């Protein structure tokens, strides 16, 4: 058995990892909730965001946290354009087609990054990468604690946006009742593009928060996607608060199952919980009734 | 379509593919074709459940891997003959299918929920196979090299090709028979509108479980073929997401819910991959990795944009247009 | 005269494959510049490159293509699963196959007469690593008794961990725990946490590049400093990129791994050529360089492009003009008997050789704290 302080540290580690998972899952769940598609390109877009952070730092020494804002805007535009110019026209609204197109996009992005940056693992060297905060005799990474705060702020902003802004209301309307929303004069194609853009913007933020302590290579995003899928389901597909709580929950579960079962076998913990939740309560732990 | 011509088209395809090795000496082509046949068989399994039954699975690796590992373990650990191991390995794959189906369909999972639960099962099996001693753990399992038809290993690539072709023909005939039987009609009814089907007295749960069991058996057979071709397995090969993706992509590209869709899709999918690889390789000498796959991705999207109902759907549309133009 | 070079340059193993290809390219260039294969009238070598796509099917497909293009031999594979499948496919056509890195001992235990491994396998590496660890510990007055093993959960890491677990107790060490992790890993905080709780004298990590960098950075951040970090076949601990990018986290880490022989003049020459392409010096480069030279020597002695005669020439090889610290080549059942790893330690932002003593350019700094 581990000492209480180790357990506490594992808990906090789980929260810190889970916060990043949550942000990635928020993007995924938004796109799922509105477009009803499983976006296979999500991981590749995250990789692209991380390379963007790396590239800005390598070329002009732009600090990852400074890069956060412009990249968020840039990736929103990029996501908007991808949905409006590629996914929308090429899929003609068919789910199977969207699946194939996002898969095709993932292959393109991942391998374009491979061709440009090659396969080497890279990281950014910032002075605060090893900064720590001492809590109860334990050391915690400052950049990762910061990430938790930013994720909570982003989730709050997003929730306010969805609840109160005109576009946010329209997004929720399309998510609930697409045809009805269309009849009310909402431009569904534009809402789709905005939603896809928001999903990509979340990934830009996640990339900026990850890079000070993590690393990037052309396949790095894949490591996060599967876990993001499970969080989306746990939180209830389409639910932003669900994704946030689900992310933190999975982060903690992973942390403890890693501690007690080992990192390799610990991964089973996530999937077993996932299967159980699906079988018992398919609307998700935190989701409203579908 | 009359009975004779319904089955005749499958046999004609098999016969057509069967004479290919006579026409070519190229082992590159044969190797490619064998792999394509393996993917086609796996995809035909997926098509039965996903195409006809409308239940999209992201986790057919669970069945493929069970078939493959079954084949390897029964030979290497239990000392069984390869041909005796084959039906048992297929049955094991079917059992895994029945198990997952019983759990998932009883819980009324459908759409993305069903897709993700199959994915999760495949991942659990992959992680387990990577640590359990019976699968050889992370070191993987090697099937002894004994080139002898008695051990399901052939000196001549062409024989393996014909055997794989036999598997594919069998799978296609089975799908065709189901399509024409009452069971097939129930399956399609469940896909189109499950509540309506149930109202008409179809036992939707039983139909779906039967479909996933058969589907798993076919895909497990593909796993058996894989094991005998490469004679080495590890968890990432047998239960890795790659085969789940191939088994799903091929029918969707070719035309889900049609007998030949998965085969056509596998030809296009793998053929495109090989062509882009060869073409970019000639162009750049392979100096920049990944360029061929970028091109492959672009072609995949174009393919979807211009053939949204799969290639079979495109062919069908072209025929309709041709008729309309003539009239 | 075509030589097949098989490496994964797309997919999960692309980073290693690129370095392997570079080593082979340098060797082929050199051989051609020196007049090609003399016994065949100065025949030039030309490379048929195949991307194994980081999986066995990709490897086999490329072997078939190489056969169609008429290669006289194939070199490479990098990972054990690719090497296992590709060498077997090559065996159908009696194409001589020289494995560059794949350390699984199954590779040379299948009785394939076409398959040779120039470098050391698991067993050899583990034995050397433990001999050296004991020697280092003895010299310092035995300060280390307890060990934690951290390994990636694939064939390579798990295989090593099993051997280490079996042999460490015989050498007077207690294994406190064996921690496995998947590749890719998203986080190493919990691994670090367990190491902190166990407080071992020695940490033995066997992982690929990214995961080890992550672990080393986390340990550094958490101020966890065992008496030694003693890596075995690690993807990063003797990689100059890691040393250059994270000098503090890398400092004093030891590694038992493939390494070029620094005594040979050729080594510096090959290294200069490799670094001129903008890449870091990695063991894949000298290994593949040497494998190509080994094959060229066999063809030279066979005086023929006949594959069987090349296989026979390889089996009888006493080649010593390579840049690995192996001495004359001698194959027994396909395994080069002289193959051995080298121990390195990161000192003063450089990677120094600490074992074997015959060509060590530094003494081990142990304990590190």
Alpha helices by DSSP H, listed for B19-139, are 20-23, 27-47, 61-76, 82-106, 111-129
**Chain A residue with minimum CA distance to C208:** A121
The answer to whether B289 contacts A114, with C-beta atoms less than 8 Å apart, is yes
CATH superfamily of C123-257+342-359: Response regulator (3.40.50.2300)
The answer to whether C184 contacts A222, with C-beta atoms less than 8 Å apart, is yes
The answer to whether B124 contacts A229, with C-beta atoms less than 8 Å apart, is no
CATH 1.20.950 fits B3-257, yes or no: no
Q: Does A85 touch chain C (CB under 8 A)?
A: no
Q: Residue B20 has what pLDDT? A: 86
Length of chain B: 327
Token pair, residue B120, equals 């999760």
**Chain C residue with minimum CA distance to B34:** C61
Per-residue pLDDT band for C212 (boundaries 50, 70, 90) equals: very high
Domain boundaries, chain B: 3-257
Q: Residue B155 has what pLDDT? A: 87
Nearest-CA distance C13 → chain A (Å): 8
Domain boundaries, chain C: 2-120+261-336, 123-257+342-359
Helix (H, G, I), strand (E, B) or coil at C231: strand
Q: Residue B309 has what pLDDT? A: 72
Token pair, residue B54, equals 């409308």
- The string of pLDDT tens digits covering residues C42-84 is 999 999 999 998 888 899 999 999 999 999 999 999 999 999 9
Beta-carbon count within 10 A of B80 CB: 16
Q: Residue B305 has what pLDDT? A: 83
- Nearest CA-CA partner of C242 in A123, B78, B189, A66: A123
Q: Residue C83 has what pLDDT? A: 95
- The string of pLDDT tens digits covering residues C99-124 is 999 999 889 998 999 999 999 998 99
pLDDT tens-digit profile, chain A (290 residues):
778 888 999 999 999 999 999 999 999 999 988 888 778 899 999 999 999 999 999 999 999 999 999 999 999 999 999 999 999 888 877 777 787 889 899 999 999 999 998 888 888 988 888 888 888 778 889 999 999 999 999 999 999 999 999 999 999 999 888 888 888 889 999 999 999 999 999 999 999 999 999 999 998 998 888 889 888 888 887 888 899 999 999 999 989 988 888 777 878 888 888 898 888 877 776 655 43
3-state secondary structure chain A: CCCHHHHHHHHHHHHHHHHHHHHHHHHHHHHHHHHCCCCCCHHHHHHHHHHHHHHHHHHHCCCHHHHHHHHHHHHHHHHHHHHHHHHHHHHCCCHHHHHHHHHHHHHHHHHHHHHHHCCCCECCCCCCCCCEEEECCEEEEHHHHHHHHHHHHHHHHHHHHHHHCHHHHHHHHHHHCHHHHHHCCCCHHHHHHHHHHHHHHHHHHHHHHHCCCCCECCCCCHHHHHHHHHHHHHHCCCCHHHHHHHHHHHHHHHHHHHHHHCHHHHHHHHHHHHHHHHHHCCCCCCCCCC
Q: Residue A287 has what pLDDT? A: 58
Q: Does C177 touch chain A (CB under 8 A)?
A: no
The residue of A17, A107, A119 whose CB has the most chain C CBs within 10 angstroms, and thus the best one to mutate to test that interface, is A119
**Chain B residue with minimum CA distance to C18:** B289
Predicted confidence (pLDDT) at residue C35 exceeds the cutoff of 90: yes
Predicted confidence (pLDDT) at residue C133 exceeds the cutoff of 80: yes
**Chain C residue with minimum CA distance to B142:** C106
Q: Does C221 touch chain A (CB under 8 A)?
A: yes
The answer to whether C15 contacts A121, with C-beta atoms less than 8 Å apart, is yes
Chain B contact set for C81 (CB, 8 A): 140, 232, 234, 237
Q: How many cross-chain Cβ pairs, B to C, lie less than 8 Å apart? A: 77
**DSSP-derived secondary structure for C141-181:** TS---EEEEEEESSHHHHHHHHHHHHHTGGGT-EEEEEEEE
Q: Specify the fold of C2-120+261-336.
A: Rossmann fold (3.40.50)
Chain C contact set for B236 (CB, 8 A): 154
| Segment 87-126 of chain A within 8 Å of chain B by CB | 89-92, 94, 96-97, 99-101, 103-108, 110-115, 118-119
Q: What's the half-sphere exposure (Cβ side, CA atoms, 13 Å) at B90?
A: 18
- Nearest CA-CA partner of C234 in C260, C261, C216: C216
The answer to whether C190 contacts A121, with C-beta atoms less than 8 Å apart, is no
Q: How buried is residue B311: exposed, middle or buried, by Cβ count under 10 Å (0-12/13-18/19+)? A: buried
Residues whose CB is less than 8 angstroms from the CB of residue B147 and which lie 6 or more positions away in sequence, other chains included = B153, B154, B155
The answer to whether C110 contacts B130, with C-beta atoms less than 8 Å apart, is no
Chain B contact set for C155 (CB, 8 A): 138-140, 234
Name the more confident of A177 and C29: C29
The answer to whether C158 contacts B137, with C-beta atoms less than 8 Å apart, is yes
Nearest-CA distance A29 → chain B (Å): 12
Can C2-120+261-336 and C123-257+342-359 be said to share one CATH topology?
yes
Chain A contact set for B127 (CB, 8 A): 264-265, 267-268, 271
Indicate the pTM of the whole model.
0.90
Q: Does A17 touch chain C (CB under 8 A)?
A: yes
Region C310-328: mean pLDDT is 95
Q: Residue B2 has what pLDDT? A: 64
The residue of A271, A285, A289 whose CB has the most chain B CBs within 10 angstroms, and thus the best one to mutate to test that interface, is A271
Chain A contact set for B102 (CB, 8 A): none
Please give the domain boundaries of chain A with CATH numbers for all domains.
4-280 (1.10.3470)
Nearest-CA distance B157 → chain A (Å): 31
Question: Above pLDDT 90, what percent of chain C?
Answer: 78
Chain C contact set for A121 (CB, 8 A): 15, 209-210, 213
Per-residue pLDDT band for C91 (boundaries 50, 70, 90) equals: very high
Length of chain A: 290
CA A50 – CA A43 distance, rounded (Å)? 11
Beta-carbon count within 10 A of C70 CB: 12
Predicted confidence (pLDDT) at residue C280 exceeds the cutoff of 50: yes
Of A217, A218, A263, which has the smallest distance from its Cβ to C181's Cβ? A263
Mean pLDDT by 10 residues, chain B (327 residues): 78 90 82 95 97 93 98 96 97 98 92 87 94 89 91 91 96 96 94 92 95 98 96 92 91 90 92 85 75 87 79 79 78
Q: Residue A100 has what pLDDT? A: 81
Query: With the C-alpha atoms ordered B231, B236, B238, B244, is the resulting torsion angle positive or negative?
Result: negative
Q: Residue C236 has what pLDDT? A: 83
Determine contact, residues C59/C78, Cβ cutoff 8 Å: no
Of A6, A213, A264, which has the smallest distance from its Cβ to C182's Cβ? A264
């Amino acid at each position: 058995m581990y000492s209480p302080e180790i357990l506490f540290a594992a808990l906090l580690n789980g929260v810190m990892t889970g916060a990043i998972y949550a942000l990635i899952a928020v993007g995924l769940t938004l796109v799922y909730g509105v477009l009803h598609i499983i976006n296979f390109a999500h991981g590749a877009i995250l990789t692209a965001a991380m390379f963007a952070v790396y590239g800005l730092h390598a070329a002009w020494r732009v600090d990852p946290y400074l890069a956060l804002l412009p990249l968020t805007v840039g990736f929103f535009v990029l996501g908007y354009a991808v949905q409006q110019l590629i996914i929308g026209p090429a899929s003609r609204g068919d789910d199977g087609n969207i699946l194939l197109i996002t898969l095709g996009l993932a292959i393109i992005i991942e391998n374009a990054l491979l061709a440009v940056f090659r396969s080497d693992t890279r990281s950014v060297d910032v002075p605060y990468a090893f900064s720590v905060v001492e809590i109860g005799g334990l050391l915690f990474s400052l950049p990762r604690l910061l990430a938790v705060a930013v994720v909570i702020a982003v989730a709050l902003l997003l929730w306010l946006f969805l609840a109160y802004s005109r576009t946010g209301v329209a997004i929720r309307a399309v998510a609930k009742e697409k045809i009805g929303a269309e009849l009310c004069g909402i431009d569904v194609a534009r809402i789709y593009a905005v939603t896809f853009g928001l999903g990509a913007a979340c990934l830009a933020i996640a990339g900026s928060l990850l890079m000070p302590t993590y690393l990037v290579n052309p396949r790095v995003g894949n490591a996060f996607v599967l876990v993001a899928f499970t969080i989306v389901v746990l939180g209830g597909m389409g639910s932003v608060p669900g994704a946030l709580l689900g992310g933190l929950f999975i982060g903690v579960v992973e942390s403890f199952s890693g501690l007690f079962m080992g990192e390799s076998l610990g991964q089973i913990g996530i999937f077993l919980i996932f299967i159980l939740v699906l079988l018992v309560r398919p609307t998700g732990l935190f989701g409203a009734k579908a | 379509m009359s009975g004779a011509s319904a089955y005749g088209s499958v046999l004609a395809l098999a016969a057509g593919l069967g004479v290919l090795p006579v026409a070519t000496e190229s082992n590159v082509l044969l190797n490619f074709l064998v792999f394509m046949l393996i993917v086609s068989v796996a995809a035909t399994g997926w098509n039965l459940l996903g195409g006809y039954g409308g239940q999209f699975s992201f986790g057919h690796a669970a069945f493929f891997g069970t078939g493959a590992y079954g084949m390897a373990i029964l030979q290497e650990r239990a000392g069984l003959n390869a041909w005796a191991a084959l039906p048992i390995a297929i049955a094991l794959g079917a059992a895994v299918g029945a198990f997952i189906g019983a759990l998932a369909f009883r819980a009324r999972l459908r759409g993305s929920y069903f897709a993700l639960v199959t994915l999760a099962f495949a991942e659990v099996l992959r992680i387990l196979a990577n640590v359990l001693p019976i699968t050889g753990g992370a070191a993987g399992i090697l099937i002894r090299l004994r080139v002898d038809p008695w051990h399901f290993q052939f000196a001549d690539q062409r024989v393996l090709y014909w055997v794989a072709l036999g598997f594919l023909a069998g799978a296609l005939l089975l799908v065709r028979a189901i399509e024409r039987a009452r069971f097939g009609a129930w399956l399609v009814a469940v896909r189109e509108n499950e509540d309506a089907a149930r109202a008409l007295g179809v036992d939707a749960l039983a139909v779906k479980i039967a479909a996933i069991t058969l589907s798993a058996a076919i895909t497990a057979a593909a796993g058996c073929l894989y094991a005998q071709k490469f004679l080495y397995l590890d968890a990432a090969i047998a239960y890795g997401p790659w085969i789940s993706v191939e088994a799903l992509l091929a029918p969707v590209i070719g035309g889900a819910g049609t007998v030949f869709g998965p085969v056509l899709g596998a030809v296009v999918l793998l053929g495109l991959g090989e062509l882009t690889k060869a073409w970019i390789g000639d162009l750049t000498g392979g100096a920049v990795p990944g360029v061929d796959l970028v091109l492959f991705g672009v072609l995949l999207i174009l393919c979807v944009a211009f053939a949204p109902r799969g290639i079979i759907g495109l062919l069908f549309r072209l025929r309709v247009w041709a008729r309309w133009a003539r009239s | 005269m075509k030589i097949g070079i098989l490496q994964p340059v797309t997919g999960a193993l692309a980073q290693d494959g690129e370095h392997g290809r570079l080593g082979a390219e340098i060797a082929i260039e050199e051989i051609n510049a020196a007049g090609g294969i003399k016994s065949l009238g100065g025949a030039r070598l030309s490379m048929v490159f195949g991307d194994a796509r980081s999986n066995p099917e990709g490897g086999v497909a490329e072997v078939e293509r190489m056969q169609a293009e008429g290669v006289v031999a194939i070199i490479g594979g990098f990972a054990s699963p690719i090497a296992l499948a590709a060498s077997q496919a090559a065996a159908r056509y009696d194409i001589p196959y020289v494995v560059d890195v794949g350390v699984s001992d199954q590779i040379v235990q299948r009785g394939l007469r076409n398959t040779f491994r120039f470098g050391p396998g698991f067993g050899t590496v583990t034995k050397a690593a433990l001999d050296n660890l004991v020697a280092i510990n003895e010299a310092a007055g035995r300060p280390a008794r307890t060990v934690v093993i951290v390994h990636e959960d694939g064939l390579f890491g798990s295989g090593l961990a099993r051997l280490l677990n079996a042999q460490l107790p015989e050498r007077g060490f207690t294994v406190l725990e064996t921690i496995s992790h998947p590749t890719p890993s998203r986080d190493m905080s919990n691994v670090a946490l367990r190491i902190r709780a166990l407080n071992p004298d020695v940490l033995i990590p066997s992982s690929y590049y990214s995961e080890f960098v992550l672990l080393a950075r986390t340990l550094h951040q958490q101020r966890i400093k065992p008496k030694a970090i003693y890596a075995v076949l690690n993807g990063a601990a003797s990689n100059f990129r890691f040393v250059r990018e994270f000098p503090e986290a890398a400092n004093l880490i030891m590694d038992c791994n493939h390494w070029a022989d620094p005594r040979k003049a050729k080594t510096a020459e090959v290294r200069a050529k490799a670094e001129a392409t903008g890449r870091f010096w990695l063991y894949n480069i000298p290994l593949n360089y040497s494998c190509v030279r080994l094959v060229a020597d066999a063809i030279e002695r066979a005086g023929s492009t006949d594959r069987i005669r090349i296989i026979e020439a390889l089996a009888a090889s006493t080649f010593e003009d390579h840049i690995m610290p192996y001495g004359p080549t001698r194959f027994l059942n396909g395994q080069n008997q002289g193959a051995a790893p080298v121990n390195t330690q990161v000192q003063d932002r450089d990677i120094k050789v600490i074992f074997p003593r015959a060509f060590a350019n530094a003494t081990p700094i142990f304990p590190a704290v």
